[in-house]
Chains A and B, each alone.
Chain A
Amino acid sequence: MDQSARDLANDRSMGHWPEGLTRVPYWVYRDPDVARDEQARLFEGPAWHFLCLDIDLPDIGDYRTTMVGAMPVVVSRAEDGGIAAFENRCAHRGALICLDDAGKGKDFHCIYHAWRYDLRGNLKSIAFRHGVNGKGGMPENFDMAAHGPRKLRVTVVCGLVFGTLSEEAPDFETYVGPEVMARLRRVLHKKLEVIGRFTQPLPCNWKLYMENVRDTYHASLLHTFFTTFRITRLSQGGGVMVGANGVAHASTTLAAPPGPDDTYAGMRSDNQGFQLEDPSFMASVAEFGDNIQLQILSIFPGFILQQIHNALAIRQIVPRGVDKMDLNWTYIGFADDTPELRNMRLKQGNLAGPAGLVSMEDGAVGGFVQRGIAAANEEDSILEMGGASAETSETRATEASVRGFWKAWRAHMDI
């Protein structure tokens, strides 16, 4: 594109991107300037980003590497037992400090020139700082305390580690809001255990995936498996809540009442004749003390918590350029799972993920939009289902939480 995103938005502020949340211009998914702005304003701005699980770092010196947008990050368990996070970039020449997904050490050494950092990312020593035989070395006045990778503020909530580079970001619970915080606590209420990790590269702009996550309207239409087996239908009870700032959402589906349901009669996704030969993997237990069968929760910009029956997973969005992203899946259970419940989670793992019987379509549908809009720089998508607001709703036949995403996005991007 020739024009920057901001120029386009300003040019079109009276027409092409109208006031309100019911239209989204397609260039937001394609413009490299938007992606650069997002890195500065969202990923390095006043938003909170999922980094890892608390249990990933049980002991002092344990670390994991992750991404915050395009920025590589190290998360570590420091000497005082707290969790620290810092940019995975040596202060000297910019090389990665940590080269593996996870590990353990007393400190961190950049392999390039052996600059050494403590577990909080503070620069502690420089090889040949005083030269060799009195020659060479760093200037005497070089201030190690003033040089180091950028450090993130860190918060640990419900066993999740979130971070932000911004001093201006509100505290995490304010950022998320009380309604969705309660939904987060509902699921993540005791010690977690990782049962698998997978990465799913998707051929689309990251925002198309997050919109899909928040789109309660599509679930039972795109995903036939859901409707056929009555895991979710719009006619089942449930709803969608959206935080006041649009940052967080949680959609819920209650267990289906007995009896036939003709809400979808005649639609492609209606296929009442489809029977499972082995329905054992659809058996589930109400482990959270309520009749919520399915809850999808998201925190802007890139965190998702999934509860589909007993299949629990955390998904982290990592943009990889304007038309690619990675979705990092962490399948979880609880440390005190019985063998029966654990087996249920393993079998229900078939429902979601890259090969999810319910939701494999989500992997591809963002790519279909990305390809469909290749020549649509002057066009907009429509978000009018359920009105024009981004408020909590007792129906899922709404795009309220997608509008909430854009509310948060536009606030952060100042568009």
Chain B
Amino acid sequence: MTDVVTLFEISALNAEYAAAIDADRLEDWPDFFHPDCLYKITTADNVAKGYQAGIVYADTQAMLRDRVAALRQANIYERQRYRHILGLPRLTEGPEGAILSDTSFLVVRTMREGQMDVFAVGAYRDILRRDPSGAWRFVERIAICDSPRFDTLLAIPL
């Protein structure tokens, strides 16, 4: 059983994480992770079958920064933004002070011309530990989408 303070802290972390992405502060996004981490976007079907691949698969924080740099400097995509709607994290205690967290997400994508779509729905399956400053950071964040479908392209991370 985790305490209410931890629940509050991790809920606040999730809120900050979503706000960074939704406000296009992508440069802040890698800072939510430990230097050695795993960030993956996959689907419920792939998880159920034990398939390891993700459409995004980063095993270092530097890879996350590279992805942001690529989005800013290399990739071309039509202007769009996300709005993350998050559920309350469901926490369990992991080994050696780690926290395991599951949080539902719903992401609405709004395109340049105003079209809005439910772009992704699913749950984050997270492992968190405190960094040296005492702040919770993701050791692992797997975004598990309920649908196998990713419309047109996924540029901005979930």
CB distance from A167 to the nearest CB of B (A): 34
Decide: B75 and A357 in contact? CB cutoff 8 A.
yes
Given A196-B46, A274-B73, A278-B60: A354 in contact with B66 (beta carbons within 8 A): no
Instruction: Contact check, B62 vs A277: say whether CB atoms are below 8 A apart.
Output: yes
The CA-CA distance from A53 to B105 in the complex, in Å, is 33
Q: Which A residues are CB-close (under 8 A) to B45? A: 101, 197
Q: Given the interface contacts A350-B57, A354-B154, does A197 sit within 8 Å of B77 by beta carbon?
A: no
Collect the chain A residues with CB atoms within 8 Å of residue B58's CB. Answer: 347, 350
The A-contacting residues of B in range 90-125, CB under 8 angstroms, are: none
A-B contact count (CB 8 A): 123
Alpha-carbon gap, A224 to B127, bound state (A): 34
B133 at the interface (CB under 8 A from A): no
Instruction: Report the bound CA distance from A356 to B152 in whole Å.
Output: 11
Q: Cβ of A196: which chain B residues have Cβ within 8 Å of it? A: 42, 46, 51-54
Interface status of A360 (Cβ within 8 A of chain B): yes
Residues of A within 8 A of B87 (CB): none
Contact across chains for A357 and B74 when beta carbons are under 8 A apart: yes
B36-73 interface mask toward A, CB cutoff 8 Å, 1 = contact, 0 = none? Answer: 00000111011001011111111110110111011001
Question: A276 with B155: in contact, given A195-B52, A360-B75 (CB under 8 Å)?
Answer: no
* A361 adjacent to chain B (CB < 8 Å): yes
Residues of chain B within 8 A (CB-CB) of A197 are: 43, 45-46, 51, 148
| Contact bitstring B10-42, A, C-beta under 8 A = 1, else 0 | 000000000000000000000000000000011
Least CB distance from B116 to A in Å reads 15
Closest CB-CB distance, B73 to chain A, in whole Å?
A: 5
| Residue pair A225, B74 in contact (C-beta under 8 Å) | yes
Q: Could you tell me if A355 and B66 are in contact, using CB atoms closer than 8 angstroms?
A: no
Smallest CB-CB separation from A101: which chain B residue? B45
Q: Which residues of chain B are near A271, meaning CB under 8 Å? A: 73-74
Given known A-B contacts A196-B46, A203-B152, A222-B76, A276 and B55 have beta carbons under 8 A apart = no
| Contact partners of A43 in chain B: CB under 8 A | none
Establish whether residues A228 and B74, one from each chain, have CB atoms under 8 Å apart when the complex forms. yes
Residue A25 at the chain B interface, CB threshold 8 Å: no
Chain B, residue nearest A275 (CB) = B69
Interface size for B (C-beta < 8 A) is 37
Interface centre among A195, A222, A360, A364 (most CB of B within 10 A): A360
Bound-complex Cα distance A354 to B155 (A): 8
Q: Does the CB pair B75–A225 fall under 8 Å?
A: yes
Contact digits for A53-64, partner B, Cβ 8 Å, 1 yes 0 no: 000000000000
Cβ of A280 within 8 Å of any chain B Cβ, yes or no, is yes
Q: Taking the nearest CB of chain A, how far is it from the CB of B157, in angstroms?
A: 8
| Chain B proximity mask over A185-220: 1 for CB below 8 Å, otherwise 0 | 000000000111111111100000000000000000
Tell me whether B153 is interfacial, beta carbon within 8 Å: yes
Tell me, yes or no, whether A29 is within 8 Å of chain B by CB: no
B3 interface hit (Cβ, 8 Å): no
Report A163-203 residues with CB < 8 Å from chain B CB. Answer: 194-203
Instruction: List, in ascending order, chain A residues with CB within 8 A of B63's CB.
Output: 277-278, 280-281, 347, 350
Q: A160: shortest Cβ distance to chain B, in Å?
A: 19
A279 nearest in chain B by CB position: B66
Instruction: With CB as the reference atom, state the residue of chain A lying closest to B145.
Output: A198
Interface string of A324-359 (1 = CB under 8 A from B): 001000010000000000110111011001111100
The distance in angstroms between the C-alpha atoms of A281 and B58, with both chains bound, is 9
Contact partners of B73 in chain A: CB under 8 A: 224, 271, 274
User: Which of A194, A200, A225, A345 is within 8 Å of B152, CB to CB?
Assistant: A200
Please determine whether B51 and A195 come into contact, CB atoms closer than 8 angstroms: yes
Nearest Cβ distance between residue B33 and chain A, in whole angstroms?
13
30 contacts between A and B (CB under 8 A): A194-B49, A196-B46, A197-B45, A197-B46, A197-B148, A198-B46, A198-B55, A198-B150, A274-B73, A280-B60, A281-B63, A326-B149, A331-B53, A343-B59, A346-B53, A346-B54, A346-B57, A349-B57, A354-B55, A355-B55, A355-B56, A355-B153, A357-B67, A357-B74, A360-B154, A360-B155, A361-B76, A364-B77, A364-B153, A367-B152
Q: A: which residues have CB within 8 A of B?
A: 101, 194-203, 222, 224-225, 228, 271, 274, 276-278, 280-281, 326, 331, 342-343, 345-347, 349-350, 353-357, 360-361, 363-364, 367
Task: With A198-B43, A354-B150 given, name 17 new contacts (CB 8 A).
Answer: A196-B42, A199-B149, A202-B152, A225-B75, A271-B73, A277-B63, A277-B69, A278-B63, A278-B66, A280-B60, A331-B51, A346-B53, A347-B59, A354-B152, A355-B56, A361-B76, A364-B78
By Cβ-Cβ distance, the 5 closest A-B pairs, closest first, are A196-B53, A278-B62, A363-B153, A224-B74, A354-B150
